[in-house]
Amino acid sequence: MEKLKVLDNFGKLNNFFFKMLVENKQNKKDTPERKDLINILSPGRVNIIGEHTDYNLGLSITTAINKYNFITGCKNNTDIVEVFSKYLNDSNKFSISDINFDKDSNWVNYIKGVLKEYIQHGYKIGGFNLAIDSNLPIGAGMSSSASLEVGVARLIEELFDLKVDKKDTVQYCNNAENDFVGVNVGLMDQFSVAFGKESHVIYLNFKDLSYEYIPFDLEDNLILIIDSKEERNLADTEYNKRRQECNEAVQLISGIMKNKNMNSLSDVSLDMLYELEDKMPERLFKRVKHVVTENNRVLLSKKYLLKGDIEKLGKVLFESHDSLRYDYEVSTERLDYLVDEMSKTKGVFGGRLMGAGFGGSIISIVKKSEVEGITDTVGKKFLKKFNISPDFIDCLFSDGTKRLRLTDK
């Protein structure tokens, strides 16, 4: 059923693409045929556990999900890139030889950043047209930007027959967001989108990008995302400040411990953590405490996943939220309210804020049979308190970004 919905979405996107091409071309003979189109399915991601650990070279358990950016495109034999967003009802055009930051259409910068990164690494790219549609919420903490980046990267790799190692693709997309868009994200989002595997989660070590697939059979349960409708723009939040604080803490601890080989907060052990409490500013100690204890929670979660113990996994999620709330200080009143209410609701194993924080969504593990009651109860309470209804999004685990042929069955 889901495969049919995906194919139907691409069919509609292809029709939209041809309509846009015809409207934007004086010579209709230049319009390509359907066989010339490359269709890319690029998923979002949810992070089960391990938040703000990626740029601290720590651990996480993450996965791609069945909410997607749908991308279709073809070469146009010029040096012009023309992009259409069906989802945003917007379009943009620029030269491949003159890629500059766009102050008016921020979504285009994610595409431009990826192209510039490939060009800087010596790959030959020409002009092309592409269209995008999506059922992946923007700003909800489900990595819509990483999904777009990896999807565009895969599209140009297919269009121009580029042979790129998948880990390099992840790095190029991450560089694009950091260096071109200006948001200092870690590698987790792009890695999850590129390496996702259906019915599995990814246990990922950011120190060396080693990873392991862990089967995760939800059985009678599901992943329920609750979007607080609190929009955030990472570039305008304290996200970058948290990264700076972590870097400050590494330098400080390196001096305290007289260890010049300390490269990240993930080099700090639990025992070492509590030796440091009275030797550094409280603000920095709290940031270190979150990262160190979060890495430990990832290890516990891996153990519970391998045992199939969802109840204990759920408790770790609640503990993670408390750490993000009080030690890393990236939560908000809405996110705290949702997690607190879920902790009191029948059929909920666990929940926590997901993504960078400062708005967005929470992730929870719930019983399928209780979903209707959960959404009704929590939704009504949230509406009464904040005068807005949250969105409830149930998810399955998905393969990573891939080319999809519409003749596939």
Q: Mind telling me the catalytic residues?
A: 189
**Left (φ > 0), alpha (ψ -120 to 50) or beta: where does 141 sit?**
left
Task: Give the integer Cα–Cα distance in Å for 169 and 156.
Answer: 11
Angle of helix 166-175 relative to helix 144-159, nearest 10 degrees, comes to: 120
The closest of 51, 1, 129 to 396, measured between CA atoms, is 1
DSSP letter for each residue of 259-297: -TT--SGGG--HHHHHHSTTSS-HHHHHHHHHHHHHHHH
**Token pair recorded at residue 329:** 């200080």
Distance CA 291, CA 300 (A): 14
Distances (CA, A) of 343 to 19, 322, 327: 49, 12, 20
227 - beta bridge partners?
361, 391
Q: Is 40 exposed, middle or buried (0-12, 13-18, 19+ CB in 10 A)?
A: buried
Nearest to 148 by CA among 106, 120, 119: 106
The single-letter code of the amino acid at 65 is: I
Look up residue 156 and give its DSSP letter: H
Contact 34, 244 (CB under 8 A): no
